Amino acid sequence: MIKEKTAAELKELDKKHFFHPTSAIKQQRESGPAFIFTEGKGIYLYDENGTKVIDGMSSLWNVNVGHGRKELGEVAMEQMSKLAFSSSFTSFSNEPAIRLAAKIAEIAPGDLNAVFFTSGGSESNDTAYKLARHYWVLKGQPQRRKIISRTRSYHGVNVGATSATGLKPFRDFTSSLAPDFYYVDHMSPDALRELIKQEGPDTIAAFISEPVQGAGGLHIAPETYFQEIRSICDEYGILFITDEVITGFGRTGTLFGIEHYGVVPDMMCFAKGVSSGYAPLGGVVFSQALYDELGELSTGTLLHGYTYSGHPMACAVALKNIEIIEREQLVENSKVRGAEMLSGFEQIKAAHSIVSEARGLGLMGGLEFHPQPGAEGPLAPLVLAEAAKRGLICRAVVLEGQDILVFSPPLIITKEELQELLSILNAAVNEVE
């Protein structure tokens, strides 16, 4: 707990100086933060008043192993004291980055074997688009520039990742984006085939997709969707990239989300759960075939790399984080608790006419509300506010006419804690109905 006076001072300083990401600036400057978190333990967060809330989103879909893991702090301290940073450019390397690359190659699906590190999801996706285009330059087909993604997709906020994001409000937010990005209906492989035919296969570099769409409203593709996508990409020689930034590292009840569909992409982007948010880290894993070709065809220096690519401390933390996921069998817990979460959502739906659909895969779930004739606005933000009052934080997706609450609790959640989450949610829905 922070002293009352200090808490009030912090709130004022926040209003004045802290330009918050993804926030309503005007409202933030007037009201200040709703919570100033001071501590996290397991699935719970504590604010400056000692208020305890369930972190129903693993913060930003990323704190997979839960809050307050001392061993991650210890590993960070040890690595920082020994070698906090050194460059990975050209021929420089460091032990944690080497070990983490090898570990990710070992656990990634199929022949995904070569890891390029970044500091987060947006950088990972940008890397994938740039290196896909670079690949086609090396292959003597520089006209293959177009990147196709899906409606309702979210790929991040740098210029490239925003350009690939299917959610239009993110693109409309700014005036100029990267050229040559296209979008197809998120549930229809036929739409991809049509667009390829219309644009010409030899103009297309890559297709990118999240295995389960998260920020766009929790949409799960039909069982055969990615098999069809993989075969269309193969037919037209288009690179297939998966964005596992949310779905990686156990979130959906398998280690990587694409495993539900039994196909292997050419590149797989990751971030968030790789370090459970204890250090900023992301990356792209390339297939052996693609990495070999890039190696054989390249003549000069790869002019792409971030200062923090292969950051020793972040990589050491990620290695320990993956060890925890394996040791505590968190992928299995995600599957088992995920099935319970979905069944809980279905019960809430059965008991409330305002709920139209319950969705989930592993510990990634969504509750959708019926459009309300005459209502002032969507219901998800109202339920969200009621849930927060009762000690549960989650997220409302109200983009493009949707009205959905999404959830992704830490993968360590116990049966009892999940019941607590569901009972708060049930009470919040009751209040709004």
Contacting range for ligand PLP; rule: CB under 6 A; set: 24-32, 150-158, 391-399, 406-414: 150-158
Which listed residue (96, 109, 156, 257) binds ligand PLP by CB under 6 A? 156
Binding range to ligand PLP, per CB under 6 A, among 31-39, 209-217, 324-332, 379-387: 209-217
Spatial neighbors of 424 by CB under 8 A, at least 6 apart, are 54, 387, 390, 391, 392
Report, in Å, the least distance between residue 254 CB and ligand PLP: 16
Among 245, 341, 367, 396, interactor with ligand PLP by CB under 6 A: 245
Distance CA 404, CA 220 (A): 14
Candidates 48-56, 66-74, 230-238, 242-250: pick the segment binding ligand PLP (CB under 6 A).
242-250
CB 108 within 8 A of CB 268: yes
Please tell me what DSSP assigns to residue 419.
H
Spell out the residues 6+ positions from residue 65 whose beta carbon is closer than 8 angstroms to its own: 72, 276, 321, 324, 325, 328, 330, 410, 411, 412
What SS3 class is residue 351?
A: helix
Closest CB to ligand PLP among 145 and 395?
395
Q: Are 341 and 422 in contact (CB under 8 A)?
A: yes
If we measure between CA atoms, which residue out of 166, 160, 253 comes closest to residue 217?
A: 166
What's the rounded Cα separation, in Å, for the pair 410 and 404? 20
Minimum distance from CB of 18 to ligand PLP (Å)?
A: 18
Residue nearest to ligand PLP (CB): 121
Closer to ligand PLP by Cβ: residue 245 or 382: 245
Other C-beta atoms closer than 10 Å to the C-beta of 4 total: 10
Copy the structure tokens of residue 303: 């002019």
Q: Does 134 bind ligand PLP (CB under 6 A)?
A: no
Q: Does 291 bind ligand PLP (CB under 6 A)?
A: no
Say if strands 404-407 and 395-397 run parallel, antiparallel, or are unpaired: antiparallel
Cβ 207 to ligand PLP, closest distance in Å? 15
Closest CA to 252 of 153, 347, 359, 355: 359
Residues whose CB is less than 8 angstroms from the CB of residue 290 and which lie 6 or more positions away in sequence, other chains included: 135, 239, 266, 267
Q: Which position among 48, 210, 266, 386 is part of the footprint of ligand PLP (CB under 6 A)?
A: 210
From 91-99, 114-122, 312-320, 343-351, span contacting ligand PLP (CB under 6 A) = 114-122
Q: Is residue 214 at the binding interface for ligand PLP, with CB under 6 A as the rule?
A: yes
- CA distance between the termini of the chain: 35
Contact 164, 149 (CB under 8 A): yes
Residues 41 to 80: which contact ligand PLP by CB under 6 A?
Answer: 60
* H-state helical runs in 32-107: 58-61, 70-83, 95-107
Residue pointed to by tokens 């979905």: 342
- Which of 132, 264, 271, 425 is in the footprint of ligand PLP by CB under 6 A? 271
**Among 150, 152, 155, 219, which residue sits at the site for ligand PLP (rule: CB under 6 A)?**
155
Is 154 an interacting residue with respect to ligand PLP (CB under 6 A)?
A: yes
The answer to whether residue 40 forms part of the interface with ligand PLP (CB under 6 A) is no
- Does the protein bind ligand PLP through residue 120 (CB under 6 A)? yes
Q: Tell me if 387 sits within 8 A of 433, measured CB to CB.
A: no
Q: How many residues bind ligand PLP (CB under 6 A)?
A: 15
DSSP per-residue string spanning 257-283? GGGGGT---SEEEE-GGGTTTSS--EE
> Minimum distance from CB of 143 to ligand PLP (Å)?
27
Nearest approach, Cβ of residue 60 and ligand PLP (Å)? 6
> Among 40, 56, 96, 121, which residue sits at the site for ligand PLP (rule: CB under 6 A)?
121
Nearer to ligand PLP, 380 or 422 (CB): 380
Q: Closest approach of Cβ 246 to ligand PLP, in Å? A: 5
Q: Does 311 bind ligand PLP (CB under 6 A)?
A: no
CB of 202 to ligand PLP, least distance (A): 28
Q: How far is the CB of 88 from ligand PLP (least distance, A)?
A: 19
- Contact call for residues 143 and 202 (beta carbons, < 8 A): yes
Residue from 47, 126, 243, 368 in contact with ligand PLP (CB under 6 A): 243
Q: How far apart are CA 218 and CA 215, in angstroms?
A: 7
Chain residues that interact with ligand PLP, rule: CB under 6 A: 60, 120-122, 125, 154-156, 210, 214-215, 243, 245-246, 271
